[in-house]
Homo-oligomer: A and B are copies of this chain.
Amino acid sequence: MNVRSTEQRVLDARRLLQDEIDLWVASANESGEVHLIPLSFAWDGAALIMAAPERSLTVRNLRRAGRARVAVGPTRDVVIVEGRVAFHRPEKEPELAETHATGSGFDSRTNDEPYMLIHLLPDRMQTWRTPQELPGRHIMRDGVWLA
């Protein structure tokens, strides 16, 4: 299979971030016990906005860590995103809540349980479709797109 250029990967990754509506979030507590869960998200062109119950293990773990590693797309068209996370109450940040609801199709404000919006600002991204694409997988470093 063809090995894509960095330029093509950036284009494909941006489209995937735009099109997908949920992703995988890995998180861990301070003793290294790991959690893994799918969450809905929206991509605003610069950041990923997720939503999760305030009392969930994922929110507690991510608050502790201050960073997240998430995976978007199927296992054969992977975009891995890492970056710092910030937390916002949907009722305090209506614009952010609206962006999340519109982009993901899930409105966290309609739920009985209190939700938190998780704002992930990427500083590292990787993408690959095949093992052959692994060597050139980096498409963002220190928050800068590599193409």
Interface residues of A (CB under 8 A from B): 22-24, 26-38, 61, 64-65, 69-71, 74-76, 78, 80
* A29 with B32: CB separation less than 8 A: yes
Q: How far is the CB of A81 from chain B (nearest CB, A)?
A: 10
Tell me, rounded to whole Å, the shortest Cβ–Cβ distance linking A58 to chain B: 11
- Besides A24-B24, A38-B78, 7 more A-B contacts (Cβ < 8 Å) are A26-B26, A26-B36, A28-B32, A28-B34, A32-B61, A36-B69, A38-B71
Q: How far is the CB of A144 from chain B (nearest CB, A)?
A: 22
Task: Report how many copies the assembly holds.
Answer: 2
User: Is B31 in contact with A34, judged by CB distance below 8 angstroms?
Assistant: no
The CA-CA distance from A37 to B61 in the complex, in Å, is: 18
Chain B residues whose C-beta falls within 8 Å of the C-beta of A70 in the assembled complex: 36
**What residues of chain B lie closer than 8 Å to A80, measured between beta carbons?**
36-37
Given contacts A74-B74, A75-B24, contact A32 B31 (CB under 8 A): yes
Contact status B30-A32, CB under 8 Å? yes
CA A27 – CA B34 in complex, angstroms?
Answer: 6
